Amino acid sequence: MAAGDVALSENQLIESLLADAEKRLSAQAASQDVAVTGSKPASLVKIPKVLATTKSSSKKEEELSVRSVAPKQPKNKTEDAGSDWFNMPKTNATPELVRDLKLLRMRNVLNPKQFFKKDTRTQLVPTYCQSGTIIEGPTEFYNARINRKERKKTLAEEVLASSDAMAKFKTKYSDIQTRKMSGRKGSYKKMMAQRYKKR
């Protein structure tokens, strides 16, 4: 009989829960009507404690459910700088371009007497850049033109071909070598040879 009592009590509990749910639904419908008319409902229905346990079980189900992972979509980075920059394409970092950009960064070595604004960029190759050749107009034939023999493909080739830059590089290299050689065995032998020549 005890099992029958338990079954009846469970059935009674379920029926009471259903009755409470019906009351709440009718109260919600009445409150919606009241909100339209502006008067307050006569009685408020209390939520039984049993529903609180059902909410916690649904939380457990949510915690235990498997989340479906959406595939990673590639970041939508544009391939050009935009219409404000005339749709300049992304930089294709070739070894020649990297060498030219390094040369531009070290332009104060080529002309140490001229002031150049300091380059504080950390990135050597910019995200968007272009390089090209300047085409002279017909009026600049004699004064602002480089002969065809002197034209080179890259800035580095032009610098190496110019005699002024090469002379500066040679003098700078010889200065560095003399500084490195001072105090060594060869410089000591030269000094001793000059001392003995004087006698």
**pLDDT computed for residue 95 by the predictor:** 92
Average pLDDT over residues 47-66: 59
Average pLDDT over residues 40-51: 56
- Alpha-carbon distance 78 to 88, whole Å? 11
Q: Is residue 148 part of a domain?
A: no
Sign of CA dihedral 143, 147, 153, 155: negative
Question: Do 58 and 98 have their domain in common?
Answer: no
Residue 105: give the domain boundaries: 79-142
Q: Is residue 125 part of a domain?
A: yes
At residue 68 the predicted structure's pLDDT band, cuts being 50, 70 and 90, is confident
Question: Is it the case that residue 5 has pLDDT exceeding 70?
Answer: no
Question: Is it the case that residue 172 has pLDDT exceeding 70?
Answer: yes
Question: Do 57 and 100 have their domain in common?
Answer: no
Question: Do 44 and 96 have their domain in common?
Answer: no
Question: Is it the case that residue 194 has pLDDT exceeding 90?
Answer: no
Question: Do 6 and 44 have their domain in common?
Answer: yes
Exposed (0-12), middle (13-18) or buried (19+): which is 191, by Cβ within 10 Å?
exposed
Using the 3D structure, point to which of 98, 114, 142 is the last residue of a domain: 142
**pLDDT computed for residue 126 by the predictor:** 92
Q: What are phi and psi of 91, to 5 degrees?
A: -75, 130
Contact 153, 147 (CB under 8 A): no
SS3 60: helix
At residue 109 the predicted structure's pLDDT band, cuts being 50, 70 and 90, is confident
Three-class SS string for 73-118? CCCCCCCECCHHHCCCEECCCCHHHHHHHHHHHCHHHHCCCCCCCC
Give pLDDT tens digits for 119-159: 888 899 999 999 888 888 888 888 878 888 888 888 888 88
Question: Do 83 and 130 have their domain in common?
Answer: yes
Q: What are phi and psi of 38, to 5 degrees?
A: 100, 0
Question: Do 44 and 84 have their domain in common?
Answer: no
**pLDDT computed for residue 1 by the predictor:** 47
Give pLDDT tens digits for 69-107: 777 776 666 788 888 999 999 999 999 999 999 999 998
Question: Is it the case that residue 160 has pLDDT exceeding 90?
Answer: no
**pLDDT computed for residue 93 by the predictor:** 92
Q: Is residue 8 part of a domain?
A: yes
Using the 3D structure, point to which of 124, 142, 160 is the last residue of a domain: 142
Range with lowest mean pLDDT among 18-22, 67-71, 87-91, 114-118: 67-71
How many domains does the chain fold into? 2
Pair of tokens at residue 19? 């009755």
Tell me the percentage of the chain whose pLDDT exceeds 90. Answer: 17
> Which pairs from 13-19 meet CB under 8 Å and 24+ separation?
13/50, 17/48, 17/50, 17/51
Count of CB atoms within 10 A of residue 140's CB?
11
